[in-house]
Amino acid sequence: MKFRSRVALSSLPILVPVLLVAFCQKDTRATTAYSLSEAQKVLRAIAKLETETQQPWSGPLRPITITESELNSYIAYRIETEKEEIMKELRLKLFPKNRIEGKIQIDLRGREVPSYVRPEMDFFFSADVLTSDGAVKIDLQKLFLGDEPIPPLIIDLVIAISAKLNNEKATSINDWYELPFGIKDIKSQRGKAVFYY
């Protein structure tokens, strides 16, 4: 599975459970268009966070603000540069009070998957991002496959299939994940997320 690098983890802590559906085979098809300059802004923010969290700090939590557009450009950039074959798109909308909505486009064509799994799927979701003691969890509220509502636990099935195809241990959408690089909290606002470290 890709998105394991320190760079990816430091900017995507709210997405860890969602990104578990990603795979790592090469693909020559195009991914979602994005702004390279916006993706690079996120990379610079990650480098700053990595550098500053290596130094002792006893003051108040420091913020790094990433806009929705920058975050989506960074995600698309990572999907492209990591040559993700299965997850073609992940787009997020950020709302106040740590509420997010998003779309995940999955392409399983050419893979051996159970017959009840569609080879191409567009998932739409809404969720709350919960943080506690330097950890994060996605509390999935609604999930749609296309325009059909489905139980949120279906994501665990997708995660299990991903893990099996990659010979990895399956996790759950309900798991808590440690925030990387000293990030202590995340607060979303309309169109942006603030990462506190």
Sheet bearing 192-196, strands edge to edge:
63-67, 192-196, 185-189
* DSSP calls for the chain: ----SHHHHHH-GGGHHHHTT-------S------HHHHHHHHHHHHHHHHHTTS---SSPPEEEEEHHHHHHHHHHHHHHTT-SSEEEEEEEEETTTEEEEEEEEE-TTS---TTS-SEEEEEEEEEEEEETTEEEEEEEEEEETTEE--TTHHHHHHHHHHHHTT-----TT--EEPSTT--EEEEETTEEEEE-
**Does pLDDT of 26 surpass 80?**
no
Q: Which of 3-12, 40-49, 55-64 shows the lowest mean pLDDT across its residues?
A: 3-12
Quote the pLDDT of residue 73: 98
For 105-124, what is each residue's pLDDT tens digit?
A: 988 888 887 888 788 999 99
| 93: its two tokens | 């909308």
The answer on pLDDT for 12 being more than 50 is no
* pLDDT, tens only, 140-191: 999 999 999 999 888 888 788 778 877 788 888 889 999 987 899 999 999 9
Task: Say what percent of the chain tops pLDDT 90.
Answer: 58
For the entire predicted model, the pTM comes to 0.78
pLDDT at position 117 is: 79
Measure Cα distances from 94 to 50, 59, 61, 79, 128 in Å: 24, 28, 21, 20, 10
